[in-house]
Amino acid sequence: MGPRDGMRGTGGDSPVLLLDEVHKLYNPGPLQVHVLKGISLAVEQGDFVAITGSSGGGKSTMLNILGCLDTPSSGRYLIGGTDVSELGDNELVGNVGRIGVFAGAEVRPAD
Ligand SMILES: Nc1ncnc2c1ncn2[C@@H]1O[C@H](COP(=O)(O)OP(=O)(O)O)[C@@H](O)[C@H]1O
Ligand SMILES: [Mg+2]
């Protein structure tokens, strides 16, 4: 199965998007910030998902990974069953266009 088959809902049983125990650390070293601490999430075809949380909680960090703009420090991110770490630049850029669309719409007014 190719990286986009799951996105088209072609009957594969892999989730469209799958985060598996994803960690993200910025600035490895003394100034390290451990933002994502073992995030797992499966998004199936037709799911509508909202990611909510306090400012600084890691929402943009997670969306950057989902949109292939950044990579996990550890753990796996699969699109249609394919680990993004196995994708080349051209395939990654294609996913930026497909998934990054909603990554710009994450901010809503505070209550
Ligand atoms: N490039 C970066 N380098 C270092 N720290 C960062 C970077 N980007 C975000 N952070 C830190 O990671 C945490 C999560 O930020 P972010 O993902 O933007 O949260 P949210 O979108 O939920 O407000 C914050 O503490 C933020 O300061
Ligand atoms: Mg944000």
Q: How far is the centre of ligand 2, averaged over its atoms, from the C-alpha of 42 (Å)? A: 21
Per-residue model confidence (pLDDT) at position 93: 81
Tens-place pLDDT, residues 29-85: 999 999 999 999 999 999 988 888 899 999 999 999 998 889 999 999 999 999 999
* Nearest residue (CA) to ligand 1, atom 7: 26
Give the number of the atom of ligand 1 that is nearest the alpha carbon of residue 57.
22
Query: What domains can you pick out in the chain, each with its CATH number?
Result: 5-102 (3.40.50.300)
From start to end of the chain, where are the E strands?
17-26, 33-43, 74-79, 82-83
Using CA atoms, how far apart are residues 54 and 42, in angstroms rounded to an integer? 22
Ligand number nearest CA of 73 is 1
Instruction: Give yes or no for a contact between 8 and 89, defined as CB atoms under 8 angstroms apart.
Output: no
Binning pLDDT at 50, 70 and 90, where does residue 19 land? very high
Half-sphere exposure (Cβ direction) of 15: Cα atoms closer than 13 Å: 13
Whether the pLDDT of residue 92 is over 90: the answer is no
